[in-house]
Structures are given as structure tokens and as C-alpha cells.
Amino acid sequence: MVKKLRSVLITAGASGIGRAVADCFAESGYDVHVCDINSDLIDAISEEDNQITGSICDVSDPDQVKQLIDQLLRESSGFDVLVNNAGIPGGNAQIEDIELSTWKKTLDVNLSGMFYFIKNLIPVMKNNGSGSIINISTASVRTGMLNRLPYIATKEGVMGLTKNVARELGPWNIRCNAILPGLVDNDRGKQILADKAKEEGKSISQIEEDYLKYISMRCWIHPREIGDLAVFLASEKAKHITGQFIAVDGQMEWEA
């Protein structure tokens, strides 16, 4: 029997894309719980008057993930939606100069963290007879990025994770899709341009022009566009959409 909960768990949901996704789900009537490594942001959420609650959790630590989910399941009937949003940039270096610690940390957060949440939530989703898992990857997997191997390799891993989870869990009416954001109009997106401008000795406006000329629609992506798609993918309107990689990027052709 399918049990509809309308509850969502979002990793790294206290700021950036994750917070925009959380707001979109809350506005759509979901009970929303976010986890984040930033305790100040979690404290701020707890003081707000809305249906978003929060917990501190390092997604790269399997014990913390299990403890969080065990606690949440003791307090509720579970979650029918999981948004795996947590990710780190993974440094900026040529392949031979990549620190092993950077490589491992990027794998732990960007890929293993998603697996830990999926692994721990699957039993309750199977028991409820439904579920929607939404993994945040990046449009950059389709273009590649110079000096960003740990990030791109892990986000490519997210694609394989998504496809195989969709195949394995389809018989339980559990869907899994990936969203591929493009150039996101938030602090992190702006910092990427600022860092590249400094590296190349150009102005930020020049770097922005370099980026946008390789995007068909010449656009930045607002974080809420990611949230709107996530809400759709979790809804009954997308009940037979699974195993898909959907870009919100204005058609990113290449990256400067």
C-alpha cells in the first residue's frame, strides 16, 4: 500500500541551492527537514516561524548520517522525498597537483554522502511503497572543467548512482532523478567567477561574458528554479519519471 507523507529531507539545506529547494517545498505544503554542517544557519532556521526544521550533520560521516535518520524516524513516519544536495567544490588544481586529502574529502561529501542517506532511508520508503530521491549533480559533467577533476569525477559518480538506484528501486515505486544546475546566481556562483577572474587577471565582467557566451540562453540560473524542478519531480505529475538527468542551465554548451 502506498503511504503518502509529503515530507522531505534536504541535505545542505540551510543556505544556497538547498535553502531555495527547502523554501519551494515548504511553500508547496511539505513538512521540510534540512541538515547542514553550519550550526549558525541551523540555529537561525529553528528561530523562524515556518514548517522547516533543521539538524546539524556532516554528510561525509556515515555514523552521523545514521544517527540523524534514526532520530528523525523515531519522531516521524519517515520521509517520502530525499534531496541530496550537499557538495563541495573539490579544489582547483592540475591533476598531478591534487592533494590526496582533497580527493578523498570530495568523494566522501559529494558521492558517499548521497549513498549514506539513500541507504538509510530506503527501508522506510520501501515500507511506505513509494519515494522520490533527487540528487543534485551539475551541468558541468556534460562539458568538463579544467583543474576541477575531483568535483567532476564525483558528480559523474552521482549520475551512475542515480541511474542504478532508479533501476534497483523501481519495483518499490521509488524514483530517483538527478538535477544538473548551470551557472547559479548565488554567492557560490559569483565566487567561482571572482576566483577565475583573479586567476586569469581579468575583470569579473569579462569572466562573466566568457561564461555566458557558451550558454545558449546567456543566462544565470536562480536557485529557486532548481527548487521548482525538485518539487515537480517529487509530485504525482512526475510519478513515472525516473532515472533521468535534467539540466536547468539555459543549454550550457561549454565552459570557458
Domain ranges within the chain, ordered by starting residue: 7-184+222-248
Mean pLDDT of 176-200: 94
Least confident of 2-6, 126-130, 157-161, 195-199: 2-6
Residue with cell 546539524: 56
Helices 149-169, 100-107: axis angle to 10 degrees equals: 30
116, 174, 242 from 233: Cα distances, Å: 21, 12, 9
Q: What is the pTM of this model?
A: 0.96
Amino acid letter at 256? Answer: A
- Name the residues annotated as catalytic: 151
pLDDT of 250 over the 70 cut: yes
Closest among 74, 76, 41 to 55, alpha carbons compared: 41
**Nearest-angstrom CA–CA distance, 166 and 157:** 14
Q: Where does the chain have alpha helices with state H?
A: 16-27, 39-47, 62-75, 100-107, 113-128, 149-169, 187-200, 204-212, 223-234
7-184+222-248: CATH number: 3.40.50.720
pLDDT digits (tens, 9 = 90+) for 201-231: 999 999 999 999 999 999 999 999 999 999 9
pLDDT digits (tens, 9 = 90+) for 57-105: 999 999 999 999 999 999 988 999 999 999 999 999 999 999 999 999 9
**Nearest-angstrom CA–CA distance, 210 and 130:** 44
pLDDT digits (tens, 9 = 90+) for 104-120: 999 999 999 999 999 99
Residues contacting residue 132 through CB under 8 Å, at least 6 positions apart:
80, 81, 82, 174, 175, 176, 177, 233, 234, 238
**Nearest-angstrom CA–CA distance, 97 and 181:** 27
Query: What's the mean per-residue pLDDT of the chain?
Result: 95
